[in-house]
Structure 1
Amino acid sequence: MPTRYFQLTDDMYLPNRWELGTLDGPDGVPVQPALLRSGTPLSLKGRLKVAIEEPGGPLDFTHAPYSIPIVHVRVASLLTEQSPDEVQFLPVDIPSQPDQYLVLNALRLIRCIDDARSSEVRYWEPEDGMPEKLGTYFSIAGLRIDPTKAGGARMFRTWGWPGALIVSEDLKQALEQSGATGMKFTPV
């Protein structure tokens, strides 16, 4: 029987939590989100920077805009131990934060979305006026994946809908047991 999978997101309903702003490169220019959602390693010289948009309590797992995960070094250590070939971490500075944080880059992009089992799937149509996106996903509600297509991966993004960060059930359990804050898991 294939493993179960979960979408890992930032729990936006935690009280008194911080919210992070735009992720900037070492040169101060915003990092293109697509670079961190493509499933490929990045080579950046220098440290990234992210501002605190809304002050509050720091989280061990949180998103910068466009679902870019920022994780505490403890979470990064656990993920490196559990899924060393599926993750890359890039150092990031957060103002007034003495703890070490890293940007999580998932290194796998897997074609596994189950259109039939997802609640609603819409594709870009000619009338949307974006010919370069024609036939690709416009929106997905109630995301479901076909676990048989995941090939045993423990952490990945979904091809065609790369904002979704997916983890295996055993990785979910390890993250929960670590006591890390800020994570929300939704079955897919």
Structure 2
Amino acid sequence: MQIFPVSIEGESERYFVVNVTKVVDCIDEARCQEVQHYPEGTFPEYEGEYRWIYGLRIAPSKTEGAHVFRLMKFKTAFIVSEDIKTALERIGNLGVSFERVTGPHEPL
């Protein structure tokens, strides 16, 4: 993970940009609610990747013990462990939201 300090003109607070470089292949496609692939031949550069995943679920046993990572074939998602989530929540309003990606889906 890379953390870059940034300053914003007119703001006295410090801000940081986070870049996650670790990529893990741990999507549990069978437990996801809906998986969308790119239609064949539409975007060759994204061949084999996911267009979108609803109700994302990962296999924790395949995370290699990582606490912060992106998903192979679906780099939109930024995954953090429960420990990291708790620490971030203690900091306060960061402009992020969290969605559980392990365990059963909550009833609608």
- Quickly say closer, same or farther: Cα 1:131–1:184, change in 2 above 3 A: closer
The superposition leaves residues 95-129 of structure 1 with CA deviations (integer Å, 9 ceiling, x where unpaired) of 21111111101121111111111111111222x52
Alignment of 1:156 with 2:74, yes or no, is: no
The superposition leaves residues 46-75 of structure 1 with CA deviations (integer Å, 9 ceiling, x where unpaired) of xxxxxxxxxxxxxxxxxxxxxxxxxxxxxx
Question: 1:147 pairs with 60, 64, 67, which one?
Answer: 60
Superposed displacement of residue 153, structure 1? 0.8
Which structure shows the higher strand fraction? 1
Question: 1:175 pairs with 77, 88, 100, which one?
Answer: 88
User: What is aligned with 1:114?
Assistant: 28
TM-score, normalised to structure 2's length? 0.81
- Quickly say closer, same or farther: Cα 1:146–1:105, change in 2 above 3 A: same
Instruction: Tell whether the 8 Å contact from 1:120 to 1:142 is kept in structure 2 after alignment.
Output: yes
- Quickly say closer, same or farther: Cα 1:134–1:183, change in 2 above 3 A: closer
| Amino acid of the structure 2 residue aligned with 1:88 | Q
Superposed displacement of residue 179, structure 1? 3.6
| Amino acid of the structure 1 residue aligned with 2:98 | F
Structure 1 alignment gaps of length 5 or more: 1-86
User: What is aligned with 1:102?
Assistant: 16
| Amino acid of the structure 2 residue aligned with 1:163 | T
Structure 2 alignment gaps of length 5 or more: 102-108
What is the RMSD computed on CA atoms of the aligned residues? Answer: 1.6
User: What is aligned with 2:104?
Assistant: none
Moved more, 141-150 or 128-137: 128-137
- Quickly say closer, same or farther: Cα 1:179–1:101, change in 2 above 3 A: closer
Instruction: Tell whether the 8 Å contact from 1:125 to 1:135 is kept in structure 2 after alignment.
Output: no
| Structure 1 stretches of at least 4 aligned residues deviating more than 3 Å after TM superposition | none
Alignment of 1:91 with 2:5, yes or no, is: yes
Instruction: Tell whether the 8 Å contact from 1:157 to 1:164 is kept in structure 2 after alignment.
Output: yes
- Cα distance in structure 1, aligned partners of 2:26 and 2:44: 24
